[in-house]
Amino acid sequence: MIGGERDIVVGFADSELAYERVDAPRFLVELLAANHLAVTDDCFPLCFPDDIPQDIAHRIVEQYVLSFFRRYLAQGQTGGAGRLRPVPRTKLTADPQRRPQP
């Protein structure tokens, strides 16, 4: 899951609640200084001058998504390229070993 620190539509607290409900390997990325539409092609009307630039937000999301896909869709066939690590301008909460509770 990826949520914006400044999201005024779906507050980041809602992303945290959703993360807590996942009963499987889970990852939560807080995109700092990001609003609800930070990763769209046009953030109007929810973009503000001090928000993270959209091109940077796009690159950050791309890094996380590609790592996630490499890890889980390539099923470890990427030689370690699928490790999810924190990147600048984010906070990462991860529980990659979480297993469903009986």
Distance, in Å, from the CA atom of 59 to the CA atom of 62, rounded to the nearest integer, reads 5
* Predicted TM-score of the model (pTM): 0.81
Domain chopping of the chain, boundaries: 2-95
In angstroms, what CA-CA distances link 63 with 48, 77, 99? 24, 18, 25
Element (H, E) at 66: helix 54-72
Could you read off the pLDDT of 18-50 as tens digits, one per residue?
A: 999 999 888 999 999 999 998 888 888 888 889
The pLDDT of residue 80: 52
Give the pLDDT confidence of 50-93 residue by residue, as tens digits.
Answer: 999 999 999 999 998 888 888 777 765 555 555 677 888 999 99
The DSSP bridge partners found for residue 4 are 31
Rounded CA separation 20/56 (Å): 27
